[in-house]
Amino acid sequence: MKPSVSRIHTLDSKLVNQIAAGEVVERPASVLKELLENSLDAGAQNIVVEADRGGCKRVYVADDGVGIDKDDLELALSRHATSKLSTLEDLQHIHFLGFRGEALPSIASVSRTRLSSKTGQAEFAWEVYCEGGREIGSPSPTPQIKGTVVEVNDLFFNTPARRKFLKTESTELRHLDQVLKRVALSRFDVGFTFKHNERAAVQWQRAMDERRQLDRIASICGNEMAKSLERVDIVTTDLSLQGWVGMPTFSRSHPDMQYFYLNGRYIRDKTISHAVRQAYKDVLYHDRQPVYVLNLSMDPSLVDVNVHPTKHEVRFRDARAVHDFIYRELHKVLAHPAGAQRPTEHVHANARTSVSNQFDIKLPSVREQHAVYAALAQSHVAPESQQAVQPKEQDTVTPPLGYALAQLHGVYILAQNQTGLILVDMHAAHERISYERFKASLGDDLSAQPLLVPLSLSVSPAELKAWQANKADFRTLGFEIDCLGENNLVVRQVPEVLQNEDIPELIRNVLSELAEHGSSTAVVDRVKEILATRACYGAVRANRKLSQEEMNALLRDMEATERSGQCNHGRPTWVQLSMHELDQWFMRGR
């Protein structure tokens, strides 16, 4: 049946508000997000949240912010009315979480909403009420201290078709909890209280120092995650990145503990997610997810946060620069962790690669090291090249990982340092050392191998464009690729280490990443996977008995190797047991 078409006409204002509500208000959690953002924009230092029946019956948010003038209360519930924008230039420099003036009128159009507020100069608080977007009543006085209270009752009471899509109380409560946690992890300087069905649920005091901030993270994400975190604090001229990243020894099967903020706004962005994953590529299982709480700060004019009504998605003016910055800086942090699993407090992260120099130890070259560990796999005798790394009686400072005491069941090395006891998984540690030395010996350029029979592959216009823009990078990696026709590439030469790989698939992966992210690490990642496999096969095997000199050589190499705290698969290579922990085990001092 052909639909009838009427003349073009202006929609009723109530219908307009309900259409806008469909974009902004999906469930009670959407209401809570918008109200919390308004409170933060108002400069609140403490926010109280209450909800009944998962927020379906009631969502209540009270803050101690600057408040709303009496004469502006009715306007606050009107569409596209805001105090945060005045000119087009303001729209290009968004400094607030909310700015379009759609949230409150959209919420009010599908609920029974009460708004009350008191500014610092006002003698009384004033209140307005709106039911289903109908006419807003005149402000009336109400008892209230400084700040704003918004109470949203009976969500979707006038739109039954949408109300039936709401889930169970427990499900909606879980979504409320998720929104509150995201906001709480973005603003440690604000205190939050949450009650559900008139029962106290959580309370987070303002956290103005790092210890209290980690306490809040622990209460939200668990102690194990909080203990795994490494501080990130990088500031450049254009970008800054602050927060915490989890060490690879703590990871998740799902990305449920990944909190990324842009100028304080929680976002989900493919460019950023890809950059973080790449930073963890060398130290984490492929199917495991890292954990982090990070905030990226940048000039608001360099990013568009107005892409989507929920403002979870953004568009960067220079996505590649943002991607490379995040990848590069997190890669450094994971390579040189300053705090996670430190053997001694006095060892600085930047001293890891040169730590041997503090103890008058000369490390052999990469080639010598390969010979050393080849000998370890064949003999019980310490090779001659190891004699330079033995502990000396005149050493006055114990190395970070200490000196070997014994070997346990041919699997673990027991060592003593200034703090207590060190346990080392010798295979995992040697695997990481060998892998890092393989990478170092590989150099910046990969040796190339001409193909006897060139490979031809058809590509899309976008892939062809990506190849044309990155020809030099392909040559640096050891590829020789030419264009034959509009949609065909021919591969004549490949990196020697990749000669047994599926080259067409690999190149397609590279071109796909280039087209989407502006950069690709697919080739380097595959090379690293091959080297990691070689390192695993060549590492000291379990049940191989080592002499004390061999064990100490391994400890010194660990101290001088990046990422030595984890094996190539993200497992820990060593753990520290302090004297305090050992004393507790045996109840000493009680």
Q: In this structure, are residues 61 and 36 in contact, taking their beta carbons and an 8 Å threshold?
A: yes
Token couple for 210: 């790092």
Q: CB burial class (10 A; 0-12, 13-18, 19+) of residue 379?
A: exposed
Whole-angstrom distance, CA of residue 430 vs CA of residue 411: 12
Helix (H, G, I), strand (E, B) or coil at 522: helix
> Which residues have C-beta within 8 Å of that of residue 388, sequence separation ≥ 6?
361, 362, 363, 364
Integer-rounded Cα Rg, in Å, for the chain is 30
Per-residue burial over 327-347, b if 16 or more Cβ lie within 10 Å, else e, is bebbbbbbbbbeebbbbeeeb
Q: Among 220, 212, 235, 225, which residue's Cα sits nearest to residue 185?
A: 220
Whole-angstrom distance, CA of residue 63 vs CA of residue 574: 47
Could you tell me the domains of the chain? 13-204 (3.30.565.10), 210-335 (3.30.230.10), 344-590 (3.30.1540.20)
In the block, residue with structure tokens 């800086």: 329
Q: Among 25, 13, 47, which residue's Cα sits nearest to residue 107?
A: 25
Q: In this structure, are residues 515 and 462 in contact, taking their beta carbons and an 8 Å threshold?
A: yes
Per-residue pLDDT of the chain (590 residues; tens, 9 = 90+): 555 556 666 666 666 666 556 567 889 999 999 999 999 999 999 999 999 999 999 999 999 999 999 988 888 887 655 555 445 454 455 555 655 557 888 899 899 999 999 998 888 899 999 999 887 778 999 988 899 999 999 999 998 888 999 999 999 999 999 999 999 999 999 999 999 999 988 999 999 999 999 999 999 999 999 999 999 999 999 999 999 999 988 889 899 999 999 999 999 998 999 999 989 988 887 688 999 999 999 998 888 876 665 567 788 989 989 999 999 999 999 988 765 444 433 332 322 222 223 226 233 343 444 454 445 444 444 444 344 444 454 456 889 999 999 999 989 999 999 999 999 999 999 989 888 888 777 655 567 888 888 898 888 888 888 888 888 888 887 889 998 877 889 999 988 888 788 888 888 888 888 877 777 777 777 777 777 777 777 777 767 888 999 999 999 999 998 888 888 777 889 999 999 999 999 988 77
Token couple for 96: 């607030």
How do 412-416 and 488-495 pair as beta strands?
A: unpaired
**pTM, full prediction:** 0.72
Token couple for 182: 């995201």
Torsion of CA 138, 142, 144, 147, to 10 degrees: 0
Whole-angstrom distance, CA of residue 29 vs CA of residue 256: 17
